[in-house]
Structures are given as structure tokens and as C-alpha cells.
């Protein structure tokens, strides 16, 4: 058996590390800005920097730019060493790296301009979606190529997680992003209403599972034992928790839609599978923390281990809290409030952020063949980061509870104690300030890290190609030798890939297919009609501005909601909504029954400057809609696209649509004039008013909504 000489590609790892740091800072800066916009609405400078447009930028930058690059950095480093092979192709590595950065740049250049698909964490428009799919395939090929030419017979648990990640993210991304384009910058989700919601949250939830969790569990399985130099606690635990995790996770998406118009059976599946997820999730935490058994002394002086320990603990907390939040009674409290925001930031800042920081501290000195510039600064980063998380999360929990209980409180006379939604917002504004402080502390820590690591890099020299040697795998058939049965599949990457694909498809198919095929899941309501052309244009403005980041369109069947907003939302009301806009957070009130609640003039004044109509409001001003002309050249294409998607506009309506549009716009303009407001009927404001006045009115006044 001869040893083969080869080298590991450290340059690609370094590149991803730099990208992680750069995008991490950018993502956190945007996060800090939008956190400050809530208590200080004056920070919504212009149309491009409103909360509604920047919030998707923050989430996308954190998930895909910061965590994504961090994941690739860790995978490229560990995969080569676990496979005892250089990456399959340096060219593919480069395409992957630059392609991904290009996607991020195009996201940053489109989202502030309101180019969005309007679905959370999947806002990027269709050309970028295609680019993501292609680059992801490049990553997959590069990974599998490396696995195929490996010099290690068995695949380590980290690699199982990487494989599951690659397969599942591809499935999720493609299914959720099927859109019908009407131009280069605008498309409609092919799914509508309830179905769109289910697909979106099947995707959204599993983006958390397979983009933020499984790859990072893989990274933990490599970097934690490496850093502490101890054997992994239990091989059998890793087998059970891996398969259980990927099988169960995929079912849990509907827990984002509890007490909504989603069919009850799907909600219940979401509940029970989320609860069953506790143990598999904790399996990872246990295996990580118990690996430290007997070596806790190293945590004392080893900064990356400190980060790892907090990351794994945060993971354990978030994955325990998640199932609790999936219990309907708890969800009734938490949904639409800041509790959820706090929850995801424990995961994002604690688990993903700290694990990434730990890996950076471990890996940069190694690939630069030097030691860390300053342990003291790293220690400072650890403590200020931890403090930042606390300052972030605790006010959010507090704000969540407070607001929920204010929403639902009735007086002795049986009426809402805080009928004005704004009162419940004003109450928690101090919490928003504290949260921004938490974010600021966390960002400060990250900046200190960047300085520390740049200094470290300059003190050493990058080993672009790290020499290594290993014996080649003999191309002989190896019969299973009676050791643990799982050893078999660990030798078979393709079978492992297929097995994980099958396992993750089951849950998705069981939930998605009946929701699409069985008619009783979305009973038809006769009085629900398609949007008029003007309303449709207005709705697209609503999507463009990211109104769904603060306003829900989903009244839950609770007395405290129906008293406040009106009849609870029915599945049949959303059949023409491409994409659905139910939202997941109420920084402002629900808008599903907004139609007819206020006069047009109220909306006009409120959009121009929310604080004239609602003193103390924290909504951004939308005065630019009064200036900007509505683009009616797209109307025909939009109507045709809707027809393709099954919206019953009459044949040939696309040609007449603009005439109807102008008629309705003129009527609104005339109505505004009665209240002394002079506005041309071709302005965007007229369209958004038309949409707002239509919302939820289809079943208004109908005593018994007939659902067939």
C-alpha cells in the first residue's frame, strides 16, 4: 500500500472565510439599522431604505451571505480532510465561490429597489433563484466529486449531514421558487393562498433545518472534537439522531401556520412532529457537550471552545423552545409577536453566529500557520457577544408577552382594553431600543473579531496548498464484516444520498399533495372574486414594499382577534393571492379586513405620513407613492399571467384591463377630492388605496359564508 501525495486547497477556505466576515458585518449593520428604525422611524430615509425593503435584505444577508459562506468555509475545510482528498475541482470551487458572491451582490442590488417575490426568506426574484439553483448544483457536484475520489473508506457523521443538506436544500429551493415571470424583475408564485402558505413554510421551516441546522451540526461534529481533541461521545447516538432529525424535521413546517386558514389536519401534523423533534435535536447537543467530558479544563483557556459551548447550548435552548412554541396554546401567545423574533435570534446569533466565530478562530491561525493575534480580544468578543445575545433576546421575550396580553385583554364590560393597536406598540418601544443595544454589542464583538483575524493573517502566511498524504482506497469489493449495520451505508455515498432524499421527501409529500389535490381543504366561497386590475397593481405595490414584514393578513379564530379585526380568515378567501401575504409578524395591525375600515382620505394621509393620522406610529412614511406614477404598461401581462395561473378573468380581458383600471382610479381620485385632497388618478397611492379598500371585503356582510 503506497502513500499518495496530494494537497488540501486552503485558498478557497480562506476566500469563504473573508466573505463570511465581510457579509457578516454587512448583515449585522443592516440588522442594526432596521432595529433602530422601529423606535426611530425617522431612519427610514427614503423609498429604498424603508423597513419593509431592508428587513428582507437583513434576513437574506444573514442566512445566505453570512451563514452560507460560513457553512461553505467549514465544509470546504473539513470535507477535504475527512475525505483525505483535495476538492474535486478547483474550477468548480472558484465558480461556486464567485457565483455565490454574485448572487449576494445581486440580492443587495435588487431588494432595496423593491424587486422581490414577496415570500419570506425566498424574496429573491426568479433570475437570482435560477442562479442559486445552478450554483448549488455546482457545490453538490464538487462535494460529490470529492467524496467519490476519497481516500477514506467510510463517511464520517459530518459528511452525512453535508449530503442531507445538499439534497434537501435543492429540493426546497426549487419547489418553493416555482414562479411565473412577467418580466425580468417580476414574477408570481404559481401557488396561491393556503397552498402557497404551506409550500412557503415547508420551505421556510426547512431552510432553518437544512441550511442553518444540519450543515452546522456537521461542522460541529468536525470542529468540536478537533478543537478539544476528544473522541465523539457516541457513534450510535449520531446515527439515530441524524436519521430521526432529517425524517422528522421536514414535517414540522405547518407549525408556522397554527390557528390560520391551513387545514386542521396539517396543523396537527406540524404540532406532533415538532414535539417529536426535541429528542433528535437534542441528540446533537448531547453528543457535542458530552464530547467535552473530561476536557472541560480546555474550555477555560480555549476561546473557540467557549464559542462552541455557547453555540451548542443556544442550539439546545432554541430546539427545545421551538417544539414548545409549536404547541397550539403557546403558539397562540407567541405568534405574530416579538417572542418569535427573540427565538430565531437565539438560534441565529447563538448557534450559527457563535459556531461560525469559533470555527474562524480555530481555522484562520491554522491555514496561516501562525497563532491567534490576541487571545484577550477574542475573549472580549466572546463576552460582549454573549451579552449582546442576552440584551437582544430578553427584551424581545418581554415585548412579546406584553404585547400579546395587551392584545387579548378585555375589560369587565367585555370590550377590548386596548382597542387601538398602536397603544400596544408604544408600550414596547423601549424594548426595541434595548434590542438595538444588544445588536450593537454583538456587532461590536464581530468587528473586534475581524480586526483580530486580519492581524492574525498578516502575522502569518497563507498555506494555499497544504501538503498531505494518504493511501489510496483499494478498488476491491469489501463485504460487510458484521460490524454495526450502519457501516455499510457509510461506504456508499450514493445510497446515502438516495436514502436521505427518500427520507426527506416523505413528510413533504404527505403534507403537500393532499393540500393541493383534495378540494375540501380549501372550500370555495362564491362571493370571492379576482382582484380588479387596479387592485392587482396595488397588491403588487404592497408586495414590493414588503408590507408583510410588519402586517399580517390572517385573522385567527380568537375572540380577541375577531373583536379587533373582524371575522376570522377563511381558506377560500385567498384563492387568487399569488403570492400569499399572510405575514408572520405584527409590528402593525392585521390588515385582512382593512377594506372599508377607513375612508380613502385617511389612507392617503396615513401613507403620506403615518404620524398625522396615528400619533406615535412607527410605520415608515410612503410619501413617494404620491409622486410616483403607476406603471400601467405591465397590466396586460399581469392579467395574462394570472389567467395562466387559473384566475378566472374573462377571455381577452388583458386588453380591456387598463380601461377598467383608469375608471376605478378616477373614482378614487374624485372621492379624495371631496375631502380636499387633489391627486392625479395615475399615481401609485391610488392603486395601493384601491387594494387596501378591497382587502377582506368579499365576505363582509355575508352572515353565513357558504363554503363548498
Partner 1 sequence: MAAVFFNVIALNAQATKQAKLELPSMFDNGTLNIAVLFAIVLVLIVLALVKSTVSLSKVLSQNKGKVSAIALMLLSSVSAFSQGVAAATAMPNPLPDWVFNPAVYLLGFLFTILLVTVYVLYKVNINLLKAMNHDTEVVAQEELQTETEEEKAPGFMRRIYLRMVDSVPVAHEKDILLDHDYDGIKELDNNLPPWWIYGFYVTIIFGVFYLLIYHVSGAGKLQAAEYQQELAVAAQEKEARMRASADNVNEDNVTALADAELVLKGKETFERLCVTCHLSNGGGTVGPNLTDDYWLHGGGIKNIFKTITHGVPNKGMISWSSQLSPKQIQQVASYVLTFKGKNVAGGKEPQGDKWVEEVVAAKDTTAAKNDTTLSAQVNAKDTIK
**Residues 325-354 interacting with partner 1 (rule: CB under 8 A):** 328
C-alpha cell read off for 445: 464583538
Task: Copy the grid coordinates of residue 283.
Answer: 441528540
Q: Which of 46, 627, 675, 702 binds partner 1 (CB under 8 A)?
A: 675
Residue from 40, 144, 282, 624 binding partner 1 (CB under 8 A): 282
Residues 31-90 that bind partner 1 (CB under 8 A): 78, 81-82, 84
Instruction: Rule CB under 8 A: say whether 481 interacts with partner 1.
Output: no
Q: State which residue, 21 or 425, has the beta carbon closest to partner 1.
A: 425
CA–CA separation, 336 and 588 (whole Å): 10
- Cβ at position 637, least distance to partner 1 in Å: 34
- The Cα–Cα gap between 142 and 134 comes to 12
Task: Considering the complex, state which of residue 233 and residue 451 has its C-beta at the smaller distance from partner 1.
Answer: 233
CB of 189 to partner 1, least distance (A): 26
What residues between 202 and 221 interact with partner 1 by CB under 8 A? none
> Residue 537 is placed in which grid cell?
397593481
Q: Is 470 exposed, middle or buried (0-12, 13-18, 19+ CB in 10 A)?
A: middle
Q: 92 or 406, CB closer to partner 1?
A: 406
Inter-residue contact 127 to 100 (CB < 8 Å): no
User: In whole angstroms, how close is the CB of 589 to partner 1 at the nearest point?
Assistant: 13
Of 94, 149, 151, 226, the residue at the interface with partner 1 (CB under 8 A) is: 226
Tell me how far, at minimum, the Cβ of 578 lies from partner 1, in Å.
Answer: 26
Query: Phi, psi at residue 185, to the nearest 5°?
Result: -115, 10
264 binds partner 1 (CB under 8 A): yes
- Among residue numbers 349 through 408, which ones bind partner 1 (CB under 8 A)? 394, 397-398, 401-406
- The answer to whether residue 473 forms part of the interface with partner 1 (CB under 8 A) is no
Instruction: Check binding of 1 to partner 1 (CB under 8 A).
Output: no
Per-residue x/- track, 149-178, partner 1 (CB under 8 A):
---x-x-x-x--------------------
Find residue 683's DSSP bridge partners: 629
226: phi > 0 → left, psi -120 to 50 → alpha, else beta; which? alpha
Instruction: Tell me if 271 contacts partner 1 by CB under 8 A.
Output: yes
Cα separation, 289 vs 296, whole angstroms: 10
> Which x/- pattern, by CB under 8 A, does the window 645-674 give for partner 1?
------------------------------
685 is a contact residue toward partner 1 (CB under 8 A) = no
Q: Give whichever of 55 and 205 is closer to partner 1, judged by the CB atom.
A: 205
CA 643 to chain centre: 30
Chain residues 419-438 in contact with partner 1, contact rule CB under 8 A: 419-420, 423, 427
Stretch that binds partner 1, among 282-290, 362-370, 507-515, 628-636 (CB under 8 A): 282-290
Distances (CA, A) of 248 to 243, 254, 499: 8, 13, 14
Total binding residues for partner 1 by CB under 8 A?
91
Distance from C-alpha of 225 to C-alpha of 371, rounded to nearest angstrom: 19
Length of the chain: 708
Minimum Å gap between C-beta 463 and partner 1 is 16
Kindly state the smallest distance separating residue 461's Cβ from partner 1, in Å.
23
List the one residue from 433, 597, 640, 656 that touches partner 1 (CB under 8 A).
Answer: 597
Of 29, 276, 464, 637, the one binding partner 1 by CB under 8 A: 276
By CB under 8 A, residue 312 contacts partner 1: no
**Alpha-carbon torsion (143, 149, 150, 153), positive or negative:** positive
Q: Which residues pair with 707 in a beta bridge?
A: 525
Residue with smaller CB distance to partner 1, 104 or 303: 303
Please state the closest distance from residue 120 (CB atom) to partner 1, in A. 23
Q: Is 259 in the site for partner 1 (CB under 8 A)?
A: yes
Give burial (CB, 10 Å; 0-12/13-18/19+) of 14.
Answer: buried
Under rule CB under 8 A, residue 268 binds partner 1? yes
- Round to whole Å and give the CA distance between 64 and 100: 9
Closer residue to partner 1 in complex, CB, 563/660: 563
Cβ atoms of 699 and 705 closer than 8 Å: yes
Question: Backbone phi, then psi, for 569, in 5-degree steps?
Answer: -70, 135
Query: Binder to partner 1 among 488, 501, 505, 563 (CB under 8 A)?
Result: 563
Q: b vs e for 95-131, b when ≥16 Cβ sit within 10 Å of the residue's Cβ?
A: bbbebbbebbebbbebbbebbbbbbbbbbbbbebbeb
Under rule CB under 8 A, residue 520 binds partner 1: no
∠ CA 630-633-637, nearest 5°, is 120
Q: Show the cell assigned to 433.
A: 431600543
Nearer to partner 1, 244 or 384 (CB): 244
Instruction: From 102-110, 126-134, 448-456, 594-602, give the range in contact with partner 1 by CB under 8 A.
Output: 594-602
Q: From the CB of 599, what's the least distance to partner 1, in Å?
A: 3
Q: Which residues partner with 471 through β-bridges? A: 3
Nine-digit cell at 496? 446515502
| Tally of CA atoms within 13 A in the half-sphere of 266 that contains its CB | 31
**Minimum distance from residue 439 beta carbon to partner 1 (Å):** 20
Stretch that binds partner 1, among 118-126, 173-181, 296-304, 364-372 (CB under 8 A): 296-304
Task: Compute the least distance from the CB of residue 421 to partner 1, in Å.
Answer: 11
409 binds partner 1 (CB under 8 A): yes
Distance between CA 205 and CA 225 in Å, rounded?
29
Decide if 565 contacts 593 (C-beta within 8 A). Answer: yes
Beta strands 3-9; 465-471: pairing state: antiparallel
Cβ nearer to partner 1, comparing 282 with 451: 282
Does residue 557 bind partner 1 (CB under 8 A)?
Answer: yes
Amino acid at each position: 500500500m503506497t502513500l499518495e501525495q496530494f494537497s488540501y486547497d486552503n485558498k478557497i477556505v480562506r476566500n469563504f472565510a473573508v466573505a463570511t466576515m465581510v457579509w457578516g458585518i454587512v448583515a449585522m449593520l443592516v440588522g442594526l439599522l432596521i432595529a433602530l428604525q422601529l423606535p426611530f422611524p425617522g431612519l427610514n430615509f427614503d423609498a429604498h431604505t424603508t423597513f419593509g425593503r431592508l428587513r428582507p435584505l437583513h434576513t437574506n444577508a444573514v442566512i445566505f451571505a453570512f451563514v452560507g459562506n460560513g457553512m461553505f468555509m467549514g465544509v470546504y475545510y473539513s470535507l477535504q480532510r475527512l475525505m483525505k482528498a483535495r476538492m474535486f475541482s478547483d474550477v468548480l470551487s472558484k465558480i461556486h465561490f464567485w457565483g455565490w458572491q454574485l448572487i449576494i451582490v445581486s440580492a443587495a442590488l435588487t431588494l432595496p429597489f423593491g424587486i422581490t417575490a414577496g415570500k419570506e426568506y425566498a424574496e429573491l426574484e426568479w433570475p437570482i433563484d435560477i442562479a442559486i439553483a445552478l450554483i448549488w448544483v455546482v457545490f453538490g457536484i464538487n462535494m460529490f466529486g470529492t467524496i467519490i475520489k476519497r481516500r477514506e473508506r467510510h463517511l464520517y457523521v459530518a459528511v452525512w449531514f453535508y449530503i442531507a443538506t445538499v439534497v434537501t436544500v435543492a429540493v426546497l429551493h426549487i419547489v418553493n421558487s416555482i414562479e411565473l415571470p412577467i418580466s425580468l424583475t417580476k414574477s408570481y408564485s404559481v401557488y396561491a393562498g393556503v397552498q402557497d402558505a404551506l409550500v412557503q413554510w415547508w420551505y421556510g421551516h426547512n431552510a432553518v433545518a437544512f441550511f442553518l441546522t444540519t450543515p452546522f451540526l456537521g461542522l460541529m461534529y468536525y470542529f468540536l472534537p478537533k478543537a478539544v481533541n476528544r473522541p465523539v461521545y457516541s457513534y450510535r447516538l449520531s446515527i439515530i439522531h441524524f436519521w430521526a432529525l432529517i425524517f422528522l424535521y421536514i414535517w414540522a413546517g405547518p407549525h408556522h401556520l397554527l390557528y390560520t386558514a391551513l387545514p386542521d389536519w396539517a396543523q396537527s401534523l406540524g404540532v406532533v412532529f415538532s414535539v417529536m423533534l426535541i429528542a433528535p435535536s437534542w441528540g446533537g447537543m448531547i453528543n457535542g457537550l458530552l464530547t467535552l467530558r473530561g476536557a472541560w479544563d480546555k474550555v477555560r483557556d480555549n476561546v473557540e471552545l467557549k464559542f462552541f459551548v455557547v453555540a451548542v447550548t443556544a442550539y439546545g435552548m432554541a430546539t427545545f423552545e421551538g417544539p414548545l412554541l409549536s404547541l397550539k396554546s403557546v403558539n397562540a401567545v407567541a405568534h405574530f409577536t416579538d417572542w418569535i423574533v427573540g427565538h430565531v435570534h437565539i438560534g441565529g446569533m447563538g448557534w450559527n453566529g457563535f459556531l461560525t466565530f469559533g470555527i474562524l478562530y480555530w481555522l484562520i491561525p491554522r491555514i496561516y500557520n501562525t497563532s491567534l493575534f490576541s487571545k484577550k480580544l477574542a475573549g472580549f468578543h466572546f463576552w460582549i457577544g454573549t451579552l449582546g445575545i442576552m440584551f437582544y433576546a430578553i427584551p424581545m421575550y418581554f415585548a412579546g408577552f406584553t404585547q400579546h396580553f395587551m392584545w387579548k385583554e378585555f375589560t369587565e364590560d367585555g370590550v377590548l382594553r386596548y382597542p387601538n393597536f398602536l397603544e400596544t406598540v408604544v408600550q414596547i418601544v423601549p424594548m426595541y431600543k434595548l434590542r438595538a443595544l444588544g445588536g450593537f454589542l454583538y456587532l461590536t464583538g464581530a468587528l473586534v473579531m475581524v480586526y483580530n483575524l486580519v492581524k492574525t493573517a498578516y502575522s502569518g502566511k497563507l498555506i494555499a496548498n497544504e501538503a498531505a498524504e494518504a493511501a489510496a482506497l483499494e478498488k476491491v469489493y469489501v463485504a460487510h464484516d458484521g460490524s454495526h449495520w450502519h457501516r455499510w451505508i457509510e461506504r456508499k455515498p450514493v445510497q446515502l444520498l438516495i436514502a436521505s432524499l427518500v427520507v426527506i421527501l416523505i413528510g413533504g409529500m404527505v403534507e403537500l399533495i393532499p393540500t393541493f389535490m383534495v378540494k375540501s381543504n380549501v372550500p370555495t366561497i362564491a362571493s370571492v372574486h379576482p382582484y380588479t386590475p387596479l387592485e392587482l397593481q396595488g397588491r403588487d405595490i404592497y408586495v414590493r414594499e414588503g408590507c408583510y414584514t410588519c402586517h399580517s393578513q390572517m385573522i385567527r379564530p380568537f375572540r380577541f382577534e375577531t373583536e379587533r379585526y373582524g371575522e376570522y380568515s377563511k381558506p377560500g378567501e385567498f384563492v387568487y393571492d399569488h403570492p400569499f401575504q399572510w405575514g408572520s409578524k405584527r409590528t402593525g395591525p392585521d390588515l385582512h379586513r382593512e377594506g372599508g375600515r377607513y375612508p380613502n382620505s385617511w389612507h392617503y394621509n396615513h401613507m403620506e405620513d403615518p404620524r398625522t393620522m396615528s400619533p406615535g406610529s412607527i410605520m415608515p412614511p410612503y410619501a413617494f407613492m404620491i409622486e410616483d406614477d403607476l406603471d400601467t404598461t405591465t397590466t396586460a401581462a399581469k392579467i395574462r399571467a394570472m389567467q395562466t395561473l387559473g384566475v378566472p378573468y374573462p377571455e381577452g380581458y388583458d386588453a380591456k384591463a387598463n380601461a377598467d383600471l383608469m375608471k376605478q382610479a378616477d373614482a378614487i381620485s374624485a372621492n379624495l377630492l371631496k375631502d380636499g385632497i387633489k391627486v392625479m388618478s395615475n399615481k401609485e397611492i391610488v392603486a395601493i388605496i384601491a387594494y387596501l379598500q378591497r382587502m377582506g371585503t368579499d365576505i363582509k356582510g355575508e352572515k353565513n359564508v357558504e363554503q363548498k
